[in-house]
Amino acid sequence: MSRLPLTVVGGYLGSGKTTLINRLLAVDHGLRLAVLVNDFGAINIDAALLKSAREDTIELTNGCVCCSMAGNLYYAIGDMLDRSPRPDHLIVEASGIADPAKIAELALSEPEMAYAGILTVIDGINYPVQLANPRISSQLRGQASAADLLVVSKTPPDDPAVTAALGDCGSDPRVGADDAATVAGLVLGRTLTREAPAESRAKHPGYVQWSSTSPPELTRTEIEALLSRLPSGVLRLKALIADPSGGMWEVHVVGEQREITQRVKSGCAAVAAIGLEGAEMVDAIEDWWNSTV
Amino acid sequence: MAETRIFAAKKIITMERGQPEATHVAVRDGRILAVGGADCAAPWGDFTIDDRLSDAVLMPGLVEGHAHMMAGAMWRYVYVGFHDRIDPDGKPWAGVSTTDAMVDRLAGERARLAPGVPVFGWGFDPIFLASERLNRIHLDQVATDRPVAVMFSNFHLMCVNSAALKMAGYTAETPLDGVVKGPDGEPTGELQEMAAMFPVLRRMGIDFRTLSQSAESIAAYGQVAVRAGVTTITDLYSMMEDDDVEQMLRQTGAEDYPVRIVPALGAAGDPARVADRALRLRARSTDKLRLGAVKLMTDGSIQGWTARVRWPGYVGGQPNGLWNTAPDEIFALAEEMQRRGVQMHIHVNGDEAAEVSLDALDAAARKHPWLGARHVLQHCQMMDRALFRRAAELGVACNLFANHLWYFGDQHAARTIGPDRACRMNAVRTALDEGVLTAIHSDAPVTPLGPLVTAWCAVNRQAMSGVTLGPQERISRAQALELITLGAASTLKLDHEIGSIAPGKRADFAVLGADPLENGLALKDVPVFGTVFGGRVNRV
C-alpha cells in the first residue's frame, strides 16, 4: 500500500485554518483527501457534495472524508491509515496553540506515512498584536518557524507589517490564504510525479513546476551537497537518481525536510520540483541543477 | 418495610463535628439511617446486627477527586515500576529496582503469554535505577522473536527491543530525533514522545482509547477502588462517546459494581458544543455514574518542563512550558461553561496556568454570576498564598497533587523549580488557611491510587530522599482525612450525599484495619480491608 502523505495546518486561533481547509476540500484536485479537524461544526460542506454525515465523520461524494479528532490525535491518524481504501492525502488541523511540528513528526517515524509539509496560517492583521503577548509569543513563533509554507490571511502575503512581525521566521515561501488553488497545487500529491514529462516548464497560477529527465549518477554525499544549495522558494522536490555503485536513490524534499533512501529497484531517473511562482524561480532551479550537471 | 442492618465496628470515624466517633451505623435502602451505639436504630423498628466489620475501623468511603480509568486497565500488562503496588486482584507486585530484575519479570510475562504475543511492561521510571540506561540490548534478553516494550511511568517515553524496532521499520536512517540513536548511529530502543512511540504501539495493538473505556477497564477500576477504600472516583478527561456512555451505564448499573464514577468530559474545541454535550450527558446521570462536568487542560507538567510557570521560570533555564489550550480559549470556555451552568475541572500545574485560569474564571463570573459554580482547579502545585486567596474569593475549589511531594519532590528541588519553590509546592495548609475548598489527589495511574497514601504525603511532606519540603505546610491527620472524604466530595458537589457518616447520606464506607487517627502507624501503612458501597460489603 502506498504511503499516506501528511500535511499539518497550524496557526493561532482565528487565523483561518478551517477556512483554508474548507477551500482545500472544494478545490478540484481529484484526490481522496482525508481531513482531521478539531472543530467539526466549522466545516462547511456544499450540500451537493455531501454523501453522509455522522457524529464524527462526514463523507463527500468526491471521495474525501472529514473526521473529528476528538480524543487521541495519534489514534485518529492511525484510523486514517487503516481506512480502506486508504486516502490519497491526509490533512490534520492542529489546535490553535499546538506545535504543528510535533504532529508532523509522526510522518517521519511511521513507515506508512510520508511527510508532506507544514502550513502555518498567519492572521495578517492580528499577528503583530498576538506576538506581543508574552504568554503566547513563543508558541506562535514556533508555529511560524515550523512552517514549510506560510499562508497569510486577511492581508496580502507580502504585507510589510506581517513581514516585520515574522522576522526570522518569515523566510519560508508565502502565499495568500484565499489562493487555495495555489496552496493545493504546491502541497497536494498529484502535480509532482516521478514520471514527469521530458523537460517541462508547466505553468500554473501561483506556482511553477520544473522537471528534468536523465540526471547524472550521484553519490549520497553529492546529493546531500546538492540539496544544501537548493534555491529558496522550492517547496517540494522528488527525484530518482542512479548511484554510481549501483541501485537508485529516491529523494524527497518538502520544505526543510529531506529524505534520501536507497532503492534496489531500477527505474527511470528523473527529477521534478515545484515552487512558488516568481520571475526568477525556474531560472534559479535551472541554474542550480546545471551547477551539478 | 425495608430491612435495617446495623454494622458494628471497632470504631467509626464519622467526619461529623456533632458526633465524631461511633461504634455502630444503621443502614436502610443503601443509606445511613442512624449512627451511634448499638441502640442507634432503636427508634426505627426491627433490625439485624451485622458483625462482619466488627474487626475494622470504618471511615466515610474515600473519594478520589482526580484519577483516570486507565489506572485499572494498565494491569492488563506487566508492572515494572520502582514502587511496590497491588493489582486489582490483590496480588502484590514488588517494585523493580534493577535492570536485571526487570528483565526477569518481563521474561516471566513472556513465558506466560502465547508464542509471538508482544510483551508490554509499564510504570518504569529510570530515575530510580542507577544502572546503565535501559536499551534494546537489555530487552533483547527478554525476547528476540517478538516485540518487547516498556512504557515509562510518565507515558512520554518507552524503550523497546530489536524486534519492535524492526517491526516499526526503525533504522539508523529514521529521521526523527524521538527515535533515539546511540553513538553507533543505530536506534538504542528508547522512543521519546508519541510520534516515536505510536508506530510501535499501533503494531503491538495497544490502544490507549480502549484502555480508558473497555468493559475490562471499567471492571478493573472498580476493583482498584475497593482495594484503596474508595467508593467515589473521578475519571478526569473522558471522551464519552455515545457507545462509551451506554457501556458505562450498563456496567456501573450492575448491583455489585462497587464504586460511583464521576467522569469529566474532555473540553476542547467549540465551547458551545462542549456545553451542549455536557448538558446532554448530565441528563443521563445515575446514582453511580455522575455526568455533566468537563475537564480542561491548560498547561503540561512541571517535571517535564512543560508547565507554564511565572518568572523566574525553571532553574535549569529551560524555556517556559506550553499551553495545551491557549489563554484566549481558556477564557472562552470558562465564559461559556459559566453561562450554561457546567462545572469545570481545570488542569493547572504551573503558577502561570493557575493565574490565567483564575483570571478567566473571574471574567466569566462578572458576566454570568453563579455563586454555586464551584469550578475546581486541579493540581494547583505552584499556587502561592495570593493565588489561593483569589481562589477563595472566587469560590473556586482547589484539588492539590500532594503525592508529588513524595514521588517527585527531590527532582523539583534539584532540577525544576528549585528548593525554595519546591518547599511551597502543593501548599495544602495555606489553601486551608485561606478558606479554599480543598482536596488532595493521586492522579492515578501517574501515582498509585490510594487516598490514605495521599493523606500521608500531605501530613508529612516528605520527599523520597527523606527531606521534608516546607514543614510549615504540613497538616494534621484529621485535616488530611477530611480532604480525602468531605473535601474531595465537595469538589464534585456531592458533599450533601457522601463524604461523612451521617443520617441520610449514602452508606459508603472505607473498611480499615487500624485507626488512621492514631499516631503509631503511618497513614500510608493503614491496612484497607475494602469498602461498603450503598450498604453492600466488598471485602478484599
**Which residues is B159 bridged to in the sheet?**
B150, B190
Q: Which residues of B touch A102 (CB under 8 A)?
A: 193, 195
Task: Check if B175 contacts A (Cβ < 8 Å).
Answer: yes
In the prediction, which pLDDT does B210 show? 83
Q: Which residues of B touch A136 (CB under 8 A)?
A: 323, 326-327
Q: Which residues lie closer than 8 Å to A52 by C-beta, 6 or more apart? A: A58, A59
3-class SS string, A260-285: EEEECCCCCCEEEEEEECCCCHHHHH
Does the pLDDT of residue A204 top 70, yes or no?
no
Q: Which residues of B touch A111 (CB under 8 A)?
A: 168-169, 199
Residue B1 binned pLDDT confidence (cut-offs 50, 70, 90): low
Set of cell numbers at residue B398:
482547589
Task: Check if B178 contacts A (Cβ < 8 Å).
Answer: yes
Kindly determine whether residue A74 and residue B196, on different chains, have CB atoms separated by under 8 Å: no
Q: Mutation test of the interface with chain B: which of A99, A109, A123, A130, choosing the one with the most B Cβ atoms within 10 A?
A: A109
pLDDT tens digits, residue range B228-280? 999 999 999 888 888 889 999 999 999 999 999 999 999 988 899 999 999 99
Kindly determine whether residue A106 and residue B175, on different chains, have CB atoms separated by under 8 Å: no
Q: Which residues lie closer than 8 Å to B344 by C-beta, 6 or more apart? A: B267, B293, B294, B295, B296, B333, B334, B337, B375, B376
Please spell the DSSP secondary structure of B514-526, one letter per residue: S-TTSTTS-GGG-
Most confident of the ranges A18-32, A237-251, B378-392: B378-392
Residue A197 binned pLDDT confidence (cut-offs 50, 70, 90): very low
Instruction: Tally A–B CB contacts below 8 A.
Output: 98
CA distance B474 to chain A (A): 33
Q: Tell me which of A210-214, B160-164, B217-221 is least confident.
A: A210-214
Mean pLDDT of the region A229-243: 90
**Can you tell me which residue has the cell 508565502?**
A174
**Can you tell me which residue has the cell 450492575?**
B254
Q: Could you tell me how many residues make up chain B?
A: 540
Nearest residue on chain B to A12, alpha-carbon basis: B326
Task: Check if B239 contacts A (Cβ < 8 Å).
Answer: yes
Kindly determine whether residue B319 and residue A139, on different chains, have CB atoms separated by under 8 Å: no
Q: Which residues of A touch B168 (CB under 8 A)?
A: 109-111
Q: Which residues of A touch B320 (CB under 8 A)?
A: 138
Does the pLDDT of residue A21 top 80, yes or no?
yes
d(CA B124, CA B152): 4
Domain boundaries, chain A: 4-187, 203-290
Q: Which residues of B touch A13 (CB under 8 A)?
A: 326, 328-329
Task: Determine the CATH number of domain A203-290.
Answer: 3.30.1220.10
Kindly determine whether residue B322 and residue A139, on different chains, have CB atoms separated by under 8 Å: yes
Kindly determine whether residue B178 and residue A99, on different chains, have CB atoms separated by under 8 Å: no
Mean pLDDT of the region A42-57: 83
> At residue B268, what are phi and psi to the nearest 5 degrees?
-145, 150
3-state secondary structure of B139: helix
Domains A4-187 and A203-290 fall in the same CATH topology: no
Domains of chain B: 4-55 (2.30.40.10), 70-209 (3.10.310.70), 210-533 (3.20.20.140)
Q: Is A4-187 CATH 3.40.630.10?
A: no
Nearest residue on chain A to B274, alpha-carbon basis: A39
d(CA B399, CA B90): 28
Kindly determine whether residue A136 and residue B242, on different chains, have CB atoms separated by under 8 Å: no
Predicted complex ipTM? 0.89
Q: Which residue among B175, B194, B268 places its CB closest to the CB of A74?
A: B194
